């Protein structure tokens, strides 16, 4: 990974990947939405309200994927001192928070007709809410100190500590009696969901991943540009101080 520690080298690679990520996100999301809203059948019990699943479930997956990536970047920053790792963790946090927020909102919209309530302190719901607060805490800590290095270190530690919540989210339906059904896609013996519903679900998940990669590159480029501007300004201030 230290091959990409140089910002110029990283930007060259990122700029090469960006058009493909954008094209993949557009194509996959368009196909996923077509299958989800038009081609897939309504559920025999939930009727058309099941279509919320095609946004809710992939956004939940991406909330966890983004946090796992953020924790990995944080570990790289703390252990290996990778110069771009903190930057990538900060770039990932708002995207993961947005996916988690979408998951919580669509879950409430889906829960009302299915469970009769907008919210219940279900184990998976509660652990997803904790995940959202962990994202907010990471973003707050990263900007809470006058010394950016202290803020980045504190945020990285929080990301690593908060990673223990990921298996809780994943296995909460197995460990406790919850309103959520057990896993129906990632399970031993293969998915138990009908292919007519599995295809749009996987297309939307792949589209969300491509979108995350695209936004991650855009945010990383913005962070690198901001760091360059900050360095130039500090050099100008230092030069002005010596001139006096």
* pLDDT for position 181: 63
More confident residue, 191 or 215: 215
Closest to 209 measured CA to CA, from 70, 106, 63, 102 = 63
| pLDDT of 115 | 76
Q: What pTM value is reported for the model? A: 0.85
Residue 2 pLDDT > 60, yes or no?
Answer: no
What average pLDDT does the segment 130-146 reach? Answer: 91
DSSP 116-158: SSS----HHHHHHHHHHHHHHHHHHHHTSSSSHHHHHHHHHHH
The whole-number average pLDDT for the span 94-106 is 95
pLDDT at 188 over 60: no
Cβ count near 174 (within 10 Å): 9
Return the pLDDT at 203. 94
More confident of the two residues 167 and 172: 167
- Catalogue the long-range contacts made by 41-48 (C-beta closer than 8 Å, 24 or more residues apart): 41/196, 41/197, 43/197, 46/113, 46/114
Confidence check: pLDDT of 240 > 90: no
pLDDT in tens, 50-84: 888 899 999 999 999 999 999 999 999 888 887 78
Name, in order, each residue with C-beta under 8 angstroms of 78's C-beta and a sequence gap of 6 or more: 153, 156, 157, 160
CB 53 within 8 A of CB 201: yes
DSSP string, 172-218: HHHHS--SSPPPSSSSTTS--S-HHHHHHHHHHHHHHHHHHHHHHHH
d(CA 43, CA 50): 6
Average pLDDT over residues 126-134: 94
Spatial separation of the C-alpha atoms in residues 85 and 119, rounded to whole Å: 36
Is pLDDT of 242 > 70?
A: no
pLDDT score of 61: 92
pLDDT digits (tens, 9 = 90+) for 214-236: 999 999 888 888 777 767 777 77
Report whether pLDDT(32) > 80.
yes
Q: What is the pLDDT of residue 145?
A: 81
First to last CA, the chain: 43
């Amino acid at each position: 990974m230290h091959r990409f520690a140089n910002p110029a080298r990283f930007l060259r690679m990122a700029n090469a990947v960006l058009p493909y990520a954008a094209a993949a996100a557009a194509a996959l999301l368009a196909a996923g939405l077509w299958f989800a809203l038009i081609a897939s059948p309504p559920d025999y019990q939930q009727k058309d309200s099941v279509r919320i699943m095609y946004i809710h479930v992939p956004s939940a997956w991406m909330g966890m994927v983004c946090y796992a990536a953020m924790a990995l970047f944080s570990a790289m920053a703390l252990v290996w001192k990778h110069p771009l790792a903190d930057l990538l963790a900060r770039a990932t946090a708002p995207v993961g928070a947005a996916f988690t927020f979408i998951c919580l909102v669509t879950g409430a919209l889906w829960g009302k007709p299915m469970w009769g309530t907008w919210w219940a302190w279900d184990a998976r719901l509660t652990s997803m809410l904790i995940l959202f607060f962990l994202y907010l805490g990471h973003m707050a800590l990263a900007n809470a100190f006058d010394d950016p290095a202290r803020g980045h270190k504190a945020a990285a530690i929080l990301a690593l500590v908060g990673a223990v919540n990921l298996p809780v989210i994943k296995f909460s339906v197995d460990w406790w009696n919850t309103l959520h059904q057990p896993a129906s896609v990632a399970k031993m013996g293969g998915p138990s969901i009908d292919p007519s519903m599995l295809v749009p679900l996987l297309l939307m998940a792949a589209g969300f991943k491509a979108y995350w990669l695209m936004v991650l590159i855009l945010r990383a480029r913005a962070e690198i540009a901001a760091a360059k501007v900050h360095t130039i300004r500090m050099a100008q201030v230092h030069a002005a101080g010596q001139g006096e």
